Chains A and B, each alone.
Chain A
């Protein structure tokens, strides 16, 4: 008799998580398109602040695209491998808010450059967005990695 053992399937994360992830990717696409338009202006006005503004938009574009995918992948793993309850909910919430919020810091940085100057704008964005949201995403991913390792040791 042949016994066919099928690999377990992935479970979808909650819909709001997918919505946030797709929204993040969509905003990144829009950011990328704006960047291309902005470059025409950049060629004419060679101002350092504008160059930094462009850099902020570019970094937002890159990070929002990547983090959108990281949210989908991480939340899918958490939804499948974490047992229902606080751990699963916390990992998904931390990863989604952290992952979607972090790239916004680059927009905040860009927007604040004209009023506060480069360094002050960076410090504000760092403490207001990058550190809290980035830390949330990092904690969620390491928590998830620890959880998978635990599942391997104690299935």
Chain B
């Protein structure tokens, strides 16, 4: 039964449906690290905006061929601005998703620890949910890949190889938890 952290004295009995168990430390570490990374990214977006934009512009210039620069200043400026905007969007998506997915991982893995009685099923669900928890990192790759490979190739790489597989893992973990919960109720 959970106890208040600031009071280790014996307390009056409470009516609860069962103990709320904690998942393995590795899963908790991923969840808390995601929250910390998400917060830090939010702060960086706000305080380091000019530096990030300068860095992005430098990387775009260094990979001019990948961005399809034509030599026409007007066209090239538009391509550069679009690439920088997309890279910043990647950081913004990372901030948003890391905060949300960190919480989802924390609460769903706690549900797995508390409601799934089978050891192997628990291990499989932890694995799927934790891999799914890494999904927001795909947006960091998204932002970096856009600058290095060009907008379309960068987005394609991040979506195909990181966001889609990790997203599928998260969905599979959630569906698995749902099925286990339904089976226990039946």
Interface, chain A (partner B; CB < 8 A) = 6-15, 66, 69-70, 73-74, 77-81, 84, 88, 92, 126, 130, 134-135, 137-138, 141-142, 144-145, 148-149, 151-152
Complexed CA–CA distance, A70 and B99 (Å): 8
Q: A13, B35: Cβ atoms under 8 Å?
A: no
Give the chain B neighbours of A152 by CB distance below 8 A. 25-26, 29
* Known A-B contacts A69-B103, A70-B103, A144-B32; A10 and B20 likewise in contact (beta carbons under 8 Å): yes
Considering the chains assembled together, what is the distance between the CA atoms of A134 and B47 in angstroms? Answer: 12
Q: Mark B86-127, 1 if CB is under 8 A from A, else 0.
A: 000000000000011011001100100100000000000000
Residues of A close to B31: CB separation below 8 A: 73
Q: Are A149 and B1 closer than 8 Å at their CB atoms?
A: no
Contacts of B4 in A (CB 8 A): 11-15, 79
Chain B, residues 1-18, CB within 8 Å of chain A (1/0): the string is 111111110000000000
CB of A148 within 8 A of CB of B46, answer no
A9 x B22 contact (CB < 8 A): yes
**Taking the nearest CB of chain B, how far is it from the CB of A99, in angstroms?**
9
Q: How far is the CA of A78 from the CA of B32 in the complex (A)?
A: 10
Q: Are B22 and A10 within 8 A (Cβ)?
A: yes
Interface residue tally of chain B, by bracket? 35 or more
When A9-B21, A9-B22, A144-B32 are in contact, do A79 and B107 touch as well, CB less than 8 Å? Answer: no
Residues of chain B touching chain A, judged by Cβ–Cβ distance below 8 Å, are: 1-8, 19-26, 28-29, 31-33, 35-36, 39-40, 42-43, 46, 99-100, 102-103, 106-107, 110, 113
Q: How far is the CA of A134 from the CA of B20 in the complex (A)?
A: 30
CB-based contact A145/B110 at 8 Å = no
Central interface residue in B26, B28, B102, by most chain A CB within 10 Å: B28
Known contacts A9-B1, A138-B40; 17 further A-B pairs (Cβ under 8 A): A10-B22, A12-B3, A70-B35, A70-B103, A74-B32, A77-B28, A78-B5, A81-B28, A126-B46, A134-B39, A134-B42, A135-B43, A141-B32, A141-B35, A141-B39, A144-B36, A149-B29
